[in-house]
Structure 1
Amino acid sequence: MKFKTSLIALSISAALLPNIAHAQDEDIEVITVTSSRMDKPVSAIPNTVTIIDQQMLEEQFRTTKDLSTIIGNLAPSFSPSRQKMSNTGETLRGRTPLIMIDGVPQSNPLRSGGRSGQTIDPAMIERIEIIHGANAMHGLGAQGGIINYITKKPTGDNEHQVSFDVTVPNSLDSDGVSFGTSYAFSGESENLDMIGSVSYRNNGVYYDANDEIIGVDTTQGESMDSQSADFFLKLGHNFDESRLELMVNHYTMENNGDYMAVKGDKENDIPTGAIEQEQPWEAANNQVTTTSLTYTHQDIAGQQLNLQFFNQNFEAVYGGGCWEDFYDPSMEGSDQVTVCGTGSNGESLYYEQSRNKSVKWGMKASMMASNIADSGVSIAYGLDMFRDTTEQDMVVSGASWVPESTYDNIAPFAQIDYDIIDNLTLSGGVRYEYAKLNVDDYKTLYGYGDKHIEGGSPDFTETLFNIGASYKVNSALRVYTSFNQGFGMPDVGRVLRDGDNFQGANPSIEDTLALDPIVTDNIEFGADYQGENFSAKIAYYRSSSDYGARMVDKGDGSGSFVIKREKSVIEGIESNITAYLGDHDDVGVNIAIQNGEYDSNDDQSVDTDLDGANISPNRINLFWTHNFDNDISTRVQANFFMDKDFKNADNHVYANFDGYTTVDASVAIPVYDGMLSIGIQNLLNEDYYTYYSQTVGKDTRYFKGMGRTATIGFTLPF
């Protein structure tokens, strides 16, 4: 694989490191990363780590509440937001990340569905921890890394906070106005501390830079013309050396169903549009309840115990359509259906849609001993247990599209850190994955082969390894390298529901290789510097999988994807530099460059570029923040998305991306005892098509990006 862009980033690194290696030692604030399973400081983790703290989140909230956009602004190896309810195709380092809330998985291993990014309101989040690259410490699909939303904690004081915000489009049209509000409280008594909040958000329609309504995605889900609500509660009790904590978060998002799509024409540069018309089916929606009970003890025979039990109930309804794939002869002439057209064989097609339901239960138990007998050795070991029961059915006919499937996973693990000499830490770990899938006999939908499939209980085992080294040249500069393996399952639901995956006279799920796990190998080299005048990070990574899972649009307009199992290799460079100009100004640049290829002809050699559903664009993010003496603060940020051609094995361009630049600006002003914020997203009103639309979208999903919007918000603690 060719990767010429690495020369650019390595040249930047070569220019920086000789200068920063002579920096004077200084005390650096230690930030502990709980997602590491060893509660390590960032400086001890041999991977690229991004911490998005509360201040950074509040700066981003001035212009957007979309978490995918926020993560992309601050961790540019994450894909640009689709600006929809669905996050299908949003990857980290070109692979699917594991999204968690306080360590509770939000991703669905059996049937992804593309909704794991819509399970919590941003107002409930204290910080976001991102560990880049394949990681086995949490298992379950962290091929691209881990994105852990850490929820807010009680402050110890009895206090309340209310916030309001209003967003208006450039056109000032009333149907494009969005607004949100939240209320939070925090308190503490002798026996109990608590924090809770409720929020409500109403999104208007989105307008592009030409003041035209952006097309709606009536199938996978649409965030414009929608309403969302979130209820969050955390209760805790501190014992002498331990703590018990309960967290509950319930999130709903519902599209109003008031707009229908107008088909675009990608070849002639005509975007998908929208008209005000009631959808003839139940509008897409999301309902998620996440619960965890966590017990920690600081000293059990000199070790720290972390024990967590969790549950997630997930239900997503997808929009409808008039497709031959969903036709069922048994529904012909039924009063239950609404006829919408005629199929290629003269059959009467009807509106149909699907619903994905998943229930997860799990336990995470770990023990950690630090600096055992002053030897410099620290160890963490434990056991993860997980069960996911998932089914995808049809809303109108009640037919099963993906049969009820149960996934059981048991994974013991151990991780060792050894401070072999001053400033040099070696780390290594092993995780044993045992996974079992249980599926009863079932039949695929009529449009998916109408095949009777014999069920079964295939099981899978994998032993995953990681090893790393981190060396502190001085208190400001460190270099590191690591090898990590990630484990995950392909989208089991997409495999089971497609009859083409099962061949022969008596097909069985035991006979298809498409269900085999995905093991991803990630190699990384990097350097971090944190000094008085500036900070810098640079990392090179190579991620490979001999039997990966690539999403391919089925091409029938239904929004369905099929899974292709192929070898894939992704290489990339991540770099960021922040300069601290005096006491008031920070100026920075973040760079993410990556290239990915897959094996198109099964010769074990990668030859074709991965498309926009699987890999992010190359981008450069610039920012400037200024803090005034009177506590007024400003931020200006620009995102440069670079042009890219996607080539096949014959070196012919099969897709291309026309890059674009967006600029955001915001200001926060203290008013009385609160904070007033004003933000403008897409300040220059850039006219563009989204990355996903350009690289993957068809005529029905050729969406423009959002034009200029202005947001006014006010937060008042009392």
Structure 2
Amino acid sequence: MTFKTSFVALAVLTALTQSAIAQEKSDSEINKNKEIERITVTASRMDKSPSSIPNTVTIIDRVQLEEQFRTTKDLSTIIGNLAPSFSPSRQKMSNTGETLRGRPPLIMIDGVPQSNPLRSGGRSGQTIDPAMIERIEIIHGANAMHGLGAQGGIINYITKKPTGDNQHVASFDVTVPDSLKSNGVSFGASYAFSGESELIDMLGSVSYRNNGVYYDANHDVIGVDTTQGESMDSQSKDFFIKLGHNFTESRLELMVNHYNMDNNGDWMAVAGNKPNGIPTGAVEEKQPWEAANNEVTTTSLTYTHENIAGQQLSMQLFNQDFKAVYGGGCFDSFYDPSFEGSDQVVQCGVNSKGEHLYYEQSRNSSVKWGLKTSLIAKNIADTGIDAAYGIDLFRDTTEQDLVKTGFSWVPESTYDNFAPYLQLDYDLIKDLTLSTGVRYEHATLSVDDYKTLYGAGNKQIAGGEATFDETLFNVGLSYKITPDIRIYTSYNQGFGMPDIGRILRDGNSFPDANPSINDSLALTPIVTDNVELGADYQGSFLSAKIAYYRSATDLGARLALNSDGFYDVKREKSVIDGIEANVTAYLTSNDDLGMNIALQRGEYDVNGDNKVDTDLDGANISPNRINLFWTHNFDNEMSTRVQANYFMDRDFENAKGAKYAEFDGYTTVDASLSMPLYTGTLSIGVQNLFNKDYFNYYSQTMGTNDRYFKGMGRTATLGYTVAF
């Protein structure tokens, strides 16, 4: 038994078409202005409004999040729906290859970095339950506002704050696949409480989610990624608490979020056949290794003061403890002759060299500490100059080892960073603002002596310290032609490190006879130059944004897939340029109709002649896409949303102009509604409404026979939230 497309479409469209009946308000009652300027962008370090930042900024507020939660709880999917320059979700535990403007973004929770600079691992997108998030701030394009890692921009998850009232909120949801098969049912629940006393205000929340098996449009089980990590057939739990105390002019706040996600390990992959269009499948069979999992604890202690000698002070001490276990496999990369016939491992096959392979898997551990300090001074000495300045301190210690044999795949590495910065805003003339700044990065990478794995050359590498110094600049102009129209341009530099772990574990990174980390050019930092030109319009009936950008680096860090399905880092020149645009028409006080567009192209230098000549592949650049949406709010607090995602075809060409990969685009449609029910809110959502059968972007462009995955077919989600 399945949902009938015509029935589902009719049910949704029946609710939507009632908007014509509900329109009785006069133009004078229409809410023309969406009041986006009430939000300040904390990730800007100057708490500026979106229209005063000379970059493309996307704010995903709680209303938009709630609309998306009706159909999905996957944050990558949500961000892509609302900021289309972000890659399509892989619908897996891993987010490797998910980029913003073709480069990896810095992901943060309340300003605490979640991205792992030394060994990415592709798990930074699975560190918090969406139920804990109040809004998402996205600053597009490379920048150094928060230092390390923002090559494609910043994605900052802002968590919920205490409301000041004693309140409890409970939410429940269940998702059912089109096939109605019981093992495909997913469900989740969350509970939050908020309150305050004379001494303290607090907000706490817990959530639990159980993901069933994913089915494609043909009602076949989607293949599992047993190595990088699988979100289907998994369970996740999140504990969140925020405590605060307000003094006369200051505030002290503690935030703790503990998140873990565990795959059940009950399904094994069945290899597909990519040349013949046969997808990777799955069979119910216990995995012969520890199933992939994530466990992350993020802690932040923040002190703010509104008046320190006329300035605003902010200090944040943070910590993140990150652990990730990756699934196992029968890999040449992990083979070591000393374990031939050992009882410590389980034999699993023979490779082309006649070596007896065994099951093995890796485990990544990272501990981050940091201190961010900033002072904001407004209108210094009546000059009209605003300044933000401070010092950021950061330490990351990371190691990746093998679970069965105990070998170190990536040696323990410590990265220390010291970064003072200064940012200035000055109104040159009325409505013309100059923004400029400088940030100095002093970083040290410390690694002890170590040996690469047998399969990576069995090389003895001399440890030591590698020191890096970079001075990064930004400058931007923003001009308000009228109160509704703004144009801007900017130049920003971003600072990042290549995936150090992938470099250290690869013997090819050290070609010399007596290799040392001090001699490896591959460890050199990435400095990305981002140039942007844009225009905004915010009117009563229409808002529109358009921006052109160009992002370039002389020594990038392209991810290249090897024969075992692992990624190596290639240091090459790369250039990406693109256009982002969005238009929202406020048709009435209750109807918004909008379109978001992201077009981008990217090339890299394959032969070292300092000229880009080969298209970046699907692990390093997003597809061109158009997102369309229509939202309607009824007078009785019921609301609906329909959205379509159109992904355009693309061919990938090498330096000789020959096609080496292709992407066959597709379109998916989602629809949802929300309505008051008793004292709560009922939501109904359908993802992939018309049950489109497709292979996802990553699988088409980067997939192998073991990772050639279909996208999810039609699913229906029913949710209920009640406050008491």
Equivalent residue, structure 2, for 1:328 = 336
Question: 1:665 aligned to 665, 671, 677, which one?
Answer: 671
Q: Aligned equivalents of 2:423 and 2:173: distance in 1?
A: 45
Deviation at residue 46 of structure 1 after TM alignment: 0.1
Q: Once the two structures are aligned, what percentage of the paired residues are identical?
A: 75
Q: Aligned equivalents of 2:324 and 2:33: distance in 1?
A: 52
Question: 2:247 aligned to 203, 217, 239, which one?
Answer: 239
Q: Aligned equivalents of 1:226 and 1:153: distance in 2?
A: 29
Please tell me the residue identity of whatever aligns with 2:192.
Answer: A
- Matched-pair contact (CA < 8 Å) for 1:311–1:360: yes
Q: Aligned equivalents of 2:34 and 2:171: distance in 1?
A: 39
Please tell me the residue identity of whatever aligns with 1:119.
Answer: T
Question: 2:425 aligned to 402, 417, 432, which one?
Answer: 417
Equivalent residue, structure 2, for 1:105 = 113
- Matched-pair contact (CA < 8 Å) for 2:37–2:50: no
Say whether residues 1:59 and 2:71 are aligned partners.
no
What do residues 668-718 of structure 1 show as CA deviations (whole Å, max 9, x unaligned)? 010011000000000000000000000001111000000000000000000
Equivalent residue, structure 2, for 1:379 = 387
Deviation at residue 419 of structure 1 after TM alignment: 1.2
Superposed counterparts of 1:76-115, under 5 Å: 76-115=84-123
- Matched-pair contact (CA < 8 Å) for 1:28–1:475: no
Give the match's secondary structure for 1:510: helix
Q: Aligned equivalents of 2:612 and 2:140: distance in 1?
A: 23
Deviation at residue 172 of structure 1 after TM alignment: 0.2
Say whether residues 1:590 and 2:615 are aligned partners.
no
Q: Aligned equivalents of 1:159 and 1:363: distance in 2?
A: 33
Say whether residues 1:711 and 2:717 are aligned partners.
yes
Superposed counterparts of 1:546-585, under 5 Å: 546-556=554-564, 559-585=565-591
Equivalent residue, structure 1, for 2:660 = 654
Q: Aligned equivalents of 1:416 and 1:548: distance in 2?
A: 29
- Matched-pair contact (CA < 8 Å) for 1:25–1:475: no
Q: Aligned equivalents of 1:120 and 1:541: distance in 2?
A: 31
Please tell me the residue identity of whatever aligns with 2:90.
Answer: R
Deviation at residue 585 of structure 1 after TM alignment: 0.4
Q: Aligned equivalents of 2:331 and 2:423: distance in 1?
A: 50
Stretch moving more, 369-378 or 193-202: 369-378
Deviation at residue 205 of structure 1 after TM alignment: 0.5
Question: 1:302 aligned to 279, 302, 310, which one?
Answer: 310
What do residues 639-659 of structure 1 show as CA deviations (whole Å, max 9, x unaligned)? 000000001111111000000
Deviation at residue 81 of structure 1 after TM alignment: 0.1
Question: 2:456 aligned to 448, 451, 462, which one?
Answer: 448
Q: Aligned equivalents of 2:687 and 2:33: distance in 1?
A: 40
Q: CA 1:539/1:395 → structure 2, altered by over 3 Å: closer, same or farther?
A: same
Q: CA 1:25/1:473 → structure 2, altered by over 3 Å: closer, same or farther?
A: farther
Q: Aligned equivalents of 1:547 and 1:447: distance in 2?
A: 27
Deviation at residue 31 of structure 1 after TM alignment: 1.9
Q: CA 1:700/1:27 → structure 2, altered by over 3 Å: closer, same or farther?
A: closer
- Matched-pair contact (CA < 8 Å) for 1:25–1:474: no
Deviation at residue 28 of structure 1 after TM alignment: 6.9
- Matched-pair contact (CA < 8 Å) for 2:118–2:499: yes
- Matched-pair contact (CA < 8 Å) for 2:37–2:51: no
Equivalent residue, structure 2, for 1:641 = 647
What do residues 39-63 of structure 1 show as CA deviations (whole Å, max 9, x unaligned)? 0111110000000000000000000
Q: Aligned equivalents of 2:34 and 2:636: distance in 1?
A: 29
Equivalent residue, structure 2, for 1:603 = 609
Deviation at residue 26 of structure 1 after TM alignment: 11
Q: Aligned equivalents of 1:327 and 1:27: distance in 2?
A: 59
Please tell me the residue identity of whatever aligns with 1:222.
Answer: E
Equivalent residue, structure 1, for 2:227 = 219
Equivalent residue, structure 2, for 1:7 = none
Please tell me the residue identity of whatever aligns with 1:488.
Answer: G
Give the match's secondary structure for 1:494: helix
- Matched-pair contact (CA < 8 Å) for 1:28–1:476: no
- Matched-pair contact (CA < 8 Å) for 2:417–2:444: yes
Give the match's secondary structure for 1:373: helix
Deviation at residue 555 of structure 1 after TM alignment: 2.3
Equivalent residue, structure 1, for 2:215 = 207
Equivalent residue, structure 2, for 1:688 = 694
What do residues 175-196 of structure 1 show as CA deviations (whole Å, max 9, x unaligned)? 0000000000000000100001
Q: CA 1:407/1:671 → structure 2, altered by over 3 Å: closer, same or farther?
A: same
Question: 1:175 aligned to 176, 183, 206, which one?
Answer: 183
Question: 2:403 aligned to 395, 405, 421, which one?
Answer: 395
What do residues 465-504 of structure 1 show as CA deviations (whole Å, max 9, x unaligned)? 0000111112211110000000000000000001111112
Please tell me the residue identity of whatever aligns with 2:571.
Answer: R
Q: Aligned equivalents of 1:583 and 1:521: distance in 2?
A: 42
Please tell me the residue identity of whatever aligns with 1:318.
Answer: Y
Equivalent residue, structure 2, for 1:278 = 286
Deviation at residue 328 of structure 1 after TM alignment: 1.6
Equivalent residue, structure 2, for 1:5 = none
Say whether residues 1:350 and 2:358 are aligned partners.
yes
Please tell me the residue identity of whatever aligns with 1:575.
Answer: A
Q: Aligned equivalents of 1:434 and 1:44: distance in 2?
A: 29
Question: 1:146 aligned to 139, 145, 154, which one?
Answer: 154
Equivalent residue, structure 1, for 2:204 = 196
Give the match's secondary structure for 1:216: coil
Q: CA 1:28/1:67 → structure 2, altered by over 3 Å: closer, same or farther?
A: closer
Say whether residues 1:187 and 2:195 are aligned partners.
yes
Please tell me the residue identity of whatever aligns with 2:702.
Answer: V
Equivalent residue, structure 1, for 2:707 = 701
Give the unaligned 5+ runs of structure 2.
1-31
Stretch moving more, 546-555 or 122-131: 546-555
Please tell me the residue identity of whatever aligns with 1:80.
Answer: P
Q: Aligned equivalents of 2:228 and 2:49: distance in 1?
A: 39
Please tell me the residue identity of whatever aligns with 1:686.
Answer: K
Deviation at residue 582 of structure 1 after TM alignment: 1.2
Stretch moving more, 480-489 or 343-352: 343-352
Give the match's secondary structure for 2:71: coil
What do residues 566-607 of structure 1 show as CA deviations (whole Å, max 9, x unaligned)? 000000000000000111100000000000000111111111
Q: Aligned equivalents of 1:628 and 1:28: distance in 2?
A: 21
Give the unaligned 5+ runs of structure 1.
1-23
Q: Aligned equivalents of 2:145 and 2:463: distance in 1?
A: 31
Equivalent residue, structure 1, for 2:77 = 69
Please tell me the residue identity of whatever aligns with 2:637.
Answer: D
Deviation at residue 371 of structure 1 after TM alignment: 1.5
Question: 1:438 aligned to 430, 446, 451, which one?
Answer: 446
Count, aligned residues = 693
Give the match's secondary structure for 1:296: strand
- Matched-pair contact (CA < 8 Å) for 2:441–2:469: yes
Give the match's secondary structure for 2:98: coil
Stretch moving more, 255-264 or 472-481: 472-481
Say whether residues 1:621 and 2:627 are aligned partners.
yes
What do residues 598-653 of structure 1 show as CA deviations (whole Å, max 9, x unaligned)? 01111111111000000000000000000111110000000000000001111111
What do residues 366-392 of structure 1 show as CA deviations (whole Å, max 9, x unaligned)? 111011233210001000000000000
Equivalent residue, structure 2, for 1:630 = 636
Normalised to the residue count of structure 1, the TM-score between the two structures is: 0.96
Give the match's secondary structure for 1:57: helix
Equivalent residue, structure 1, for 2:550 = 542
Give the match's secondary structure for 1:267: helix
Deviation at residue 95 of structure 1 after TM alignment: 0.3
Deviation at residue 329 of structure 1 after TM alignment: 1.9
Q: Aligned equivalents of 2:270 and 2:33: distance in 1?
A: 61
Q: CA 1:31/1:716 → structure 2, altered by over 3 Å: closer, same or farther?
A: same
Question: 2:488 aligned to 469, 480, 487, which one?
Answer: 480
Q: CA 1:644/1:26 → structure 2, altered by over 3 Å: closer, same or farther?
A: closer
